Amino acid sequence: MSHPSRILITGASGCIGQAVTAWLLEHSNARLLLWLRQPRKLAAIDRRHPRLELLVGDLRQPQRFRQQLAHVDRVVHTATAWGDPDRAWAVNVQAVKDLLACLDHRRLQQVLYFSTASILDRDLELLPEAEQWGTEYIRTKVTCLRQLMAHSLREKIVAIFPTLVFSGRIDDGGSCPTSYLTAGLRPFLHWLWLARFLRLDASYHFIHGTDVASVCGHLLTTPHQPGPQHWGGIHRHVLGQCPLTVNRTMAQLCRYRHMAYPPGVGLHHWLMQALVFLFRIQLSPWDRFTLQRRHFVHHPVTRPESFGLTSRFPDLETVLSAAGVPQRGRLPAADHGLRSCT
């Protein structure tokens, strides 16, 4: 960069926020404004770094930091909320609108807005079912994206759609926060001895938080350029490695854990429906849609190699190793105080 940019990172204590911050501290001379609620969660970076300024407060009160926001050049918006419908709307929709209103539109160069790949179909178009049947989190992400499509800043906005995100370790060791996906490895691996007998025709993408940071860092430290455009000019990137099938994943997990991968029983749709009925499992319309869809793949996907960089975690084996999953034997003990990915 020709001069030190001022970059705002919301949700800065989450796994993506901390990974992006660490990347920028190492690879740029930018001054970073970290908007967060709990500074004690900044385990992966030194909060006393001279290029850091902490904005401690709720995203729903941007007026508190109006002076700082007016001098921001770029924004990485990772903060989000789910669970409570009112809070999800306030954080995921209204707060985004209020944040953009506090920025100097003449000075602002770029906004990286984090959404979720769950709202997109294979061709990166919005899923009608996401808006119709989605959870409060899914619906608010669709609503916010539609509002950004019509915003006066839309040419400066890059929509980022992560797929399944790994980060941290299953024992919560190390400094990087543990994502919900990585934390979920522990209970799943305890049932691997049984799950390996099942087969499911499904596929997905994943990406590691470190590789997300690499892509975002590249976008933040190069001139803002037009990319693939849909939705009225908003650029978008679905972040993920090459797709994996569920059955191949099971085979790789068994090989990594030195377990046999025997012939299995197919989990056909009719069988899953029967199990739902037999065990009286309550499914929402969105749950039923995702069970029927099964193949969560997108084209094209963006990864570090898309920009001539190298993925640190390109495959499942490197992810499992970084997460502290032993190749055989018992799993390590975990601290149950989960550090969130967001």
Which residue, among 232, 121, 210, has the nearest Cα to 165 in the 3D structure? 210
Residue-wise pLDDT tens digits, 16-61:
999 999 999 999 999 999 999 989 888 888 888 999 999 999 999 9
Q: What is the mean pLDDT of residues 144-160?
A: 94
The structure tokens listed for 176 are 């990087």
- Predicted local distance difference test score (pLDDT) of residue 59: 92
What is the three-class DSSP state of 275? helix
Extract long-range pairs of 283-290: CB within 8 Å, 24+ residues apart. Answer: 284/133, 284/135, 285/132, 285/133, 286/129, 286/130, 286/133, 286/134, 286/135, 286/138, 289/129, 289/133
pLDDT value of residue 121: 95
3-state secondary structure of 289: helix
pLDDT class of 303 with cuts at 50, 70, 90: very high
Tokens 């105080």 belong to residue: 337
What is the C-alpha end-to-end distance of the chain, expressed in Å? 28
When pLDDT is cut at 50, 70 and 90, the band that residue 230 belongs to is low
pLDDT at 232: 61
- Distance, in Å, from the CA atom of 175 to the CA atom of 209, rounded to the nearest integer, reads 13
Q: Are 192 and 327 in contact (CB under 8 A)?
A: no
Which residues touch 61 (CB under 8 Å, ≥6 apart)?
none
Question: Residue 340's pLDDT is what?
Answer: 43
User: In this prediction, what percent of the chain has a pLDDT beyond 70?
Assistant: 93
Digit-coded pLDDT (tens) for 247-300: 999 999 999 999 999 999 998 877 777 777 777 778 788 888 998 899 999 999
Question: Confidence class of residue 231 from pLDDT cuts 50, 70 and 90?
Answer: low
Domain count, the chain: 1
CATH number for position 4:
3.40.50.720
Residue-range definition of the domain harbouring residue 205: 1-342
The reported pLDDT for the residue numbered 173 is: 78
Q: Quick one: pLDDT at residue 341?
A: 43
0.85 exceeded by pTM: yes
pLDDT over threshold 70, residue 92: yes
Tens of pLDDT, residue by residue over 208-223, are 999 999 999 999 999 9
